[in-house]
Every structure is written in C-alpha cells, then in structure tokens.
Amino acid sequence: MTHMMPLMTRPRPRDADPMSPAELEAALRAIGAQRYHNLHPFHKMLHSGQCSLDQVRAWALNRYCYQACIPRKDGAVLAKIEDREVRRAWMQRILDHDGHLDDQGGIERWLVLTDSLGFDRDYVTSQQGALPATRFAVEAYVRFVWDNPGLTAIASCLTELFAPKIHAERIAGMLEHYDFTNDTVMAYFQKRLTQAPRDCDFALDYVLKNARTVDEQNGVLNALTFKCNVLWSQLDALYAAYVAPGMVPPGAWVPGEGETR
Ligand SMILES: O=C(O)c1cc(C(=O)O)c2c(n1)C(=O)C(=O)c1cc(C(=O)O)[nH]c1-2
C-alpha cells in the first residue's frame, strides 16, 4: 500500500449516484488500508520487540482508557438503536467487556496484562497517569457516537474489520519478544480473535444494508476516518511522550509511578 494514493477524506457530492454495497465496502476497506493504526511506528516497535519495558507499560496504561470507554460507547450506541433484534446483538459487546456470568470480561483481562507489568490496579483504573491526548481521544469516540445517528454510530466500530490481523501480530510478536508475556497475560487479545470478527461482520452487514443515500454513505465513511484518527492520535501522543522527543505532559505517568514492585 503506497501513501501516494489519495486519501478518502472528501465527501462525495450530494448529487453523485450512491455507491453499490460492494463499492461502499471497498471504500471502507481502502480507508482502513491507508489509516488503520497497524501502520503506526509505535505498533511496529511494540510488535517487533523494540519497545523498552517502560514503553510497553506506557502503552498498556494508556490503552486501559480505551478499554474503559468501549462499553460506555456501546451503551450510547444502544440508545440510538430502535430495532430490538439489533439491540439484542449489540448488547453482547457490553457483556464481553464488562463481564457476564462466569466470564470476567475484557476489562478484567486487560487488568491482568497491567498486573503483569507491575501496575497497581487502582492507579490504572483511576486513569490519572494517562496522557491528556489519550483521554481526549477516547472521550471523543464516546461523544461522536452520542452526537450522531445510529447508522453512523454503528459504522464507527468498523476499524474492527482490521483488528484481528493486528491482534494476531501482537500475540505472536509480544510472546516472542517480551519475557513478562504468556498465554494468560495475552488472553485479552486471544479472546478478541473470535469476538472482533463476529462484531464487525454484524456491523458491516448493517452498514451495507442501511447506508443507501449519498449522505448516509458519506456519514459512514466519515465515521471510519474519524475512528482511525481516534486510534492514531493515541499512538502519536504515546510516541511523543515515551519514544521521541520524550515530552511527558505534566501529571502523566513517569516510570516507577503507580507500580507495586
Ligand atoms: O488492539 C487493537 O488494535 C484494537 C483496535 C480496535 C479498533 O480497531 O477499534 C478495538 C480493539 N483492539 C479491541 O480490543 C476492542 O475491543 C474494540 C472495540 C472496538 C469498537 O470500536 O467498538 N474497537 C476495538
């Protein structure tokens, strides 16, 4: 994929013909191919073992904010959906993250990862050491869903179309390169390998069936671009603070803080 290709940032004119579902899917996939955060230099470092343990800690600590916002975001999506069957399917996402019956849920699995890095749980869940940009980005995701129609809100999760590939790469790369990892520590990502395809197949099907007008199609394309930016900007902030130039904002985590050992 070359970065010389034009980015799909401009909305199509309203008098254009709507795209067919196949064309819309191709346009959505083109956005991911150019903008998804698998391309970010921080992820390349993380997956190839080039991160120091403190850089991995910074990533896991900040990424907790994203985990914590996902069920809130899905609650906001639920409030937009009038179709009972769609709501029934969507509810599963909240249970997957918050836990249900015997399953402790994805947030708990994320805390197992931060435990293994030596963090105090209260420090992680307080989010007090997170970068300001992380907090802004994840809240912008919740707010985007809150402020937009149900179709657009649903489309904003379509970054997950590209997630299984990055999760598989992360599981293999982190197990190979970092001593603190094992199957229990990486269980969050292992679980997502089946949850994410189920979720995004459902969302893609919904979007392709329901985005019929040019305005609706522009709305869903814009939602995916926005969401790629939510993910990308978190890694930019992480890179600037903990890789180069090492500009840690006041109050954000510094190595040693919030750790139990
Ligand atoms: O590790 C990743 O790169 C990654 C990316 C994304 C994504 O593309 O938004 C999600 C996840 N993980 C994830 O684990 C997850 O539960 C999730 C939910 C959603 C969403 O938008 O509803 N995205 C993602």
Q: For the beta carbon of residue 241, count every other beta carbon within 10 angstroms.
A: 23
Contact 12, 141 (CB under 8 A): no
pLDDT at 170 over 50: yes
Q: 160 alpha carbon to ligand 1 midpoint, in Å?
A: 6
Quick one: which atom of ligand 1 is closest to the CA of 170? 1
Quick one: which atom of ligand 1 is closest to the CA of 36? 8
| Residue indicated by tokens 């919904």 | 206
For residue 258, give both structure tokens: 């919030």
99-140 tens-digit pLDDT: 999 999 999 999 999 999 999 999 999 999 999 999 999 999
Q: Using 50, 70 and 90 to split pLDDT, how confident is the model at 2?
A: very low
Whether ligand 1 lies within 6 angstroms of the CB of 160 is answered as yes
Q: Using 50, 70 and 90 to split pLDDT, how confident is the model at 1?
A: very low
Q: Using 50, 70 and 90 to split pLDDT, how confident is the model at 11?
A: confident
Q: How far is CA 79 from the centre of its chain?
A: 21
ipTM: 0.97
Structural domains of the chain ordered from first start: 42-242 (1.20.910.10)
Query: How confident is the model at residue 9, as a pLDDT?
Result: 56
For ligand 1, atom 3: residue with the closest CA:
163
For ligand 1, atom 10: residue with the closest CA:
160
Give how far Cα 228 sits from Cα of 30, 33, 198, Å. 12, 10, 20
Whether ligand 1 lies within 6 angstroms of the CB of 192 is answered as yes
